[in-house]
Structure 1
Amino acid sequence: MIKDLEIREATLEDLTEITSIFRDTVRAINSRDYSEKQIDVWSSGADDTEIWENRINDLYFIVAEFKNEIVGFAHITKGCNLDGLYVHKNYQRRTIGSKLLRIAESHIMAEGYEVINADSSITSVDFFDSHYFEQIKKQKKSYKGKGFAYSIFSKEL
């Protein structure tokens, strides 16, 4: 558990750290459950800086900071959909993801929604299970020509 963790809204100045966390986490953590080619394609999403800038500018996008270093982030789309939650590869299993999730859930409730939805990689199924989400279904989606298995989760707030 990390004490003195600060959660705040992301700014464009955070872009480099956010995309670095995304790339490094996908390569180090998600590589347990996906092929090398899938990881190469998935992690290359960090290079789409315009998409990341739009997320930061247009979505509810929060970062977790510890000792002036961003160690995780989360963002919400379409009111109640947790579109991304990533924790730095060196800070896994230290309650950062749980804290980001709680703040995201609070924001969603404050917006008047009673449900939170999330698309989950295979790697994060246990995380969502442990936070009382119900797995709605398993699916495959295509990203840059590669197929990815994932699950859709939902939770009443």
Structure 2
Amino acid sequence: MIKDIEIREATLQDLPEITSIFRDTVRSVNSNDYSEKQIKAWSSGADDMDVWKERIENLYFIVAEYRNEIVGFAHIKKGCHLDGLYVHKNYQRQTIGSKLLRIAESHIMAEGYEIINADASITAVDFFDSHYFEQIKKQKKSYKGMGFASSIFSKKL
């Protein structure tokens, strides 16, 4: 467990680290649950800088820093929808995701919402289960012509 994690809002200067974490996490952590073709398509999302810039500029987007290095991030859209939560591949299972989730939940409650929703990969099912989310349904999402098994989760705050 890492204790000296600092959570702050993301800036455009964080883009290289954020996209690197996204790409590397998908390629290493999610590769156990998805095919090589799916991982290639999914991780290529790191290259769409306009999408990442728009997220940072228009969503509640936070990063976790440890020793001046970004080790994770999360972003919320539509008020109460956790749109993404990623932790650096070398910092998995060290409470970083839990801290990001806790801050995201606090922000959602401060905005007046009583529920948090999330679409999550099958890799993240255990994480959401351990944080008291209810798996609403399993689904297949399409991204860049590939189908991806995922789940919709919800939690009353």
- The 5 Å alignment of 1:1-157 reads 1-157=1-157
The separation in 2 between residues aligned to 1:150 and 1:116, in whole angstroms, is 17
| CA RMSD after TM alignment | 0.3
Residues 108-157 of structure 1: per-residue CA shift (max 9 Å, x gap)? 00000000000010000000000000000000011000000000000000
Q: What letter corresponds to residue 42 of structure 1 in structure 2?
A: W
Q: Which runs of 5+ in 2 are unaligned?
A: none
TM-score by length of 2: 1.00
Q: Secondary structure at the match of 1:117?
A: strand
The separation in 2 between residues aligned to 1:128 and 1:21, in whole angstroms, is 20
Deviating runs (4+, > 2 A) in structure 1?
none
The separation in 2 between residues aligned to 1:54 and 1:66, in whole angstroms, is 25
Q: Secondary structure at the match of 1:118?
A: strand
Q: Secondary structure at the match of 1:2?
A: coil
TM-score by length of 1: 1.00
The separation in 2 between residues aligned to 1:32 and 1:115, in whole angstroms, is 30
Q: What letter corresponds to residue 21 of structure 1 in structure 2?
A: I
Q: How far 1:3 moved relative to its partner?
A: 1.3
Q: How far 1:100 moved relative to its partner?
A: 0.1
- Between the two proteins, the alignment pairs up a number of residues equal to 157
